[in-house]
């Protein structure tokens, strides 16, 4: 496993998947190059250096996980495995995972440069303006926001956008219901500022943990340690005392003040839904008291884009594997889980199962829809039979078109957990702060009560196809195993 971001970049370079770009401008040009390349099937990792207005060594990395090979590399999965095999392997990892607490060390590369008080200058870093209508520059898109619950003492990591406003002031946009939003409100209720650290570049699996759906009270540091098979090394923050990654690229430390103390206009920003949804709005200031960074620091850039793969590290594989394991703990017959690619990583889920009792498919859908790990902005849950590969949209669409009665097999559940960034939120609901939505459950399955009488499919059994493939593989040298 990779212990820091630059080790991953070096490995990507060794396999010919890293492109050095010099003299690009931080104002839109880095974002435009990133978007252009992200849409290509074999898009390379991009490392920007000698950025306009900045000297050499102040760098930005983007498109880190924009193709399947680098995603597998970062997650420690076989590059030659099929998508369904990768999901199954991730499910196995989740099943056997044992949390490992972080270990505090005296020092680490992140402490090579330390700036405190008047020495703090966020503008020393080439934070990009990623999209044309963005309200400013964002140092945090592939970041981790670190907070500690004031009552229970556990440490939370989350991924939220961080906008730079001046030398020592930023804003962090936290969505209602997220764990660090709940934590900061606890501090504010006690009349205190909320201590916060923001890591702006870190090891791939550590960052993956920060945007996973860990349950309340479980530190993503512990989860990441389980994923990596070893404890995450942390150092004590110089002004907050929070544990921060010892191998992080850049760490900002400070306090989030309560609303009304120092509010700053944040955004707008191009959202992961593919739209500008939320207008510029007032957000509590993040007063930065100290900055630590490595020599030749790298800002990790993961701006939301309309692209073939999710901009976050393998979240389609991770979410599918997590839900598969969660469902299998409660229900029999779950044969696979996938996400609706291209629909926004949160909005759709596909479950394949072997129906064993009346209501089985509906129960699986409702169980998934109620899981914290995927419930946020989940609008579609599609259930198919176990002869359908959920990662194969051709087969899924075949099931949608040929199985079940539309009038009977679609249910709509109202009042589900949503967000203000939902582009379909009506103006009335947005005005009154009602950030919920409906979720459709679609049972594209053979009706259970007469399933045995359903017309026989012309599809060959998967095992027969596998044996045929093994026998004749050599005749199709171009086919990926």
Give Cα separations from 290 to 113, 244, 286 (angstroms): 11, 13, 12
Is residue 139 one of the residues assigned to a domain?
A: yes
280-297: per-residue pLDDT in tens? 899 999 999 999 999 999
Shared domain for 211 and 103, answered yes or no, is: yes
Q: Report residue 376's pLDDT band, with 50, 70 and 90 as the boundaries.
A: confident
Q: Which residue has tokens 């207008």?
A: 279
Shared domain for 292 and 320, answered yes or no, is: no
Distance CA 355, CA 429 (A): 38
Is residue 362 one of the residues assigned to a domain?
A: yes
Is residue 246 one of the residues assigned to a domain?
A: yes
1-44: per-residue pLDDT in tens? 899 999 999 999 999 999 999 999 999 999 999 998 888 878 89
Number of domains composing the chain: 2
Shared domain for 383 and 293, answered yes or no, is: no
Shared domain for 277 and 322, answered yes or no, is: no
CATH assignment of the domain containing 145? 2.30.110.10
Is residue 77 one of the residues assigned to a domain?
A: no
Shared domain for 204 and 351, answered yes or no, is: no
Distance CA 146, CA 137 (A): 21
Domain end point (choices 299, 327, 353): 299
Shared domain for 247 and 132, answered yes or no, is: yes
Domain end point (choices 299, 323, 348): 299
The mean pLDDT of the chain is 91
Is residue 167 one of the residues assigned to a domain?
A: yes
Q: Write out the residue range of the structural domain in which residue 395 sits.
A: 315-475
Domain end point (choices 254, 272, 299): 299
CB atoms closer than 10 angstroms to residue 10: 12
b/e 259-298 (16+ beta carbons within 10 angstroms → b): eeeeebebbbbbbbbeebbbeeeebbbbbbbbbbbbeebb
- Between 122 and 408, the higher pLDDT residue: 122
For 188-192, 221-225, 317-321, which range has the lowest pLDDT when averaged over its residues? Answer: 317-321
CB atoms closer than 10 angstroms to residue 108: 18
Angle (CA) 174 203 220, round 5°: 50
Average pLDDT over residues 349-358: 94
Is residue 78 one of the residues assigned to a domain?
A: no
Task: Give me the sheet containing 59-62, strands edge to edge.
Answer: 18-22, 45-49, 59-62, 298-300
Shared domain for 231 and 347, answered yes or no, is: no
Is residue 190 one of the residues assigned to a domain?
A: yes
Distance CA 66, CA 309 (A): 6
Shared domain for 279 and 379, answered yes or no, is: no
Average pLDDT over residues 444-472: 86
Is residue 252 one of the residues assigned to a domain?
A: yes
């Amino acid at each position: 496993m990779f212990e820091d971001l630059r080790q991953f970049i070096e490995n990507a370079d060794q396999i010919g998947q890293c492109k050095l770009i010099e003299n690009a401008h931080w104002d839109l040009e880095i974002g435009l190059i990133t978007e252009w390349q992200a849409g290509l099937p074999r898009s390379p990792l991009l490392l920007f250096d000698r950025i306009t207005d900045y000297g050499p060594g102040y760098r930005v990395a983007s498109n880190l996980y924009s193709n399947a090979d680098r995603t597998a590399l970062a997650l420690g999965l076989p590059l030659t495995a099929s998508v369904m095999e990768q999901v199954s392997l991730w499910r196995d990892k989740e099943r056997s995972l044992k949390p490992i607490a972080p270990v505090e060390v005296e020092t680490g590369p992140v402490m090579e440069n330390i700036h405190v008080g008047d020495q703090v200058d966020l503008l020393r870093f080439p934070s990009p303006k990623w999209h044309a209508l963005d309200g400013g520059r964002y140092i945090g898109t592939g970041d981790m926001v670190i907070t500690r619950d004031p009552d229970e003492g556990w440490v939370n990591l989350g991924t939220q956008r961080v906008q730079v406003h001046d030398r020592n002031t930023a804003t962090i946009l936290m969505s209602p219901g997220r764990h660090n939003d709940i934590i900061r409100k606890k501090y504010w209720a006690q009349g205190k500022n909320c201590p916060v650290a923001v890591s702006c570049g870190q090891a791939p699996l550590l960052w993956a943990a920060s945007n996973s759906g860990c349950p309340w009270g479980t530190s993503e540091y512990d989860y990441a340690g389980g994923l990596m098979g070893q404890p995450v090394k942390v150092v004590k923050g110089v002004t907050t005392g929070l544990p921060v990654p010892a191998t992080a690229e850049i760490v900002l430390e400070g306090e989030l003040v309560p609303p009304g103390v120092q509010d700053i206009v944040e955004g707008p920003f191009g959202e992961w839904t593919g739209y500008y949804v939320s207008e510029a709005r007032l957000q509590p200031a993040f007063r930065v008291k100290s900055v630590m960074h490595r020599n030749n620091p790298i800002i990790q850039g993961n701006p939301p884009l309309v692209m073939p793969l999710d901009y976050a590290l393998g979240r389609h594989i991770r979410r599918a594997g997590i839900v598969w394991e969660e469902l299998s703990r409660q229900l029999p017959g779950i044969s696979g889980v996938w996400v609706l690619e291209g629909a926004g990583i949160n909005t759709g889920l596909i479950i394949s199962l072997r129906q064993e009792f009346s209501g089985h498919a509906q129960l699986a859908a409702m169980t998934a829809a109620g899981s914290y790990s995927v419930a946020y902005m989940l609008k579609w849950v599609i259930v198919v039979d176990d002869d359908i590969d959920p990662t194969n949209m051709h087969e899924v669409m075949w099931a949608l078109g040929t199985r079940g009665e539309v009038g009977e097999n679609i249910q709509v559940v109202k009042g589900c957990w949503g967000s203000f960034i939902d582009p379909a939120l009506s103006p009335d609901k947005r005005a009154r702060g009602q950030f919920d939505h409906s979720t459709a459950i679609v049972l594209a399955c053979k009706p259970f009560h007469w399933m045995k009488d359903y017309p026989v499919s012309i599809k060959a059994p998967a095992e027969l196809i596998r044996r045929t493939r093994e026998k004749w593989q050599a005749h199709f040298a171009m086919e990926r195993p």
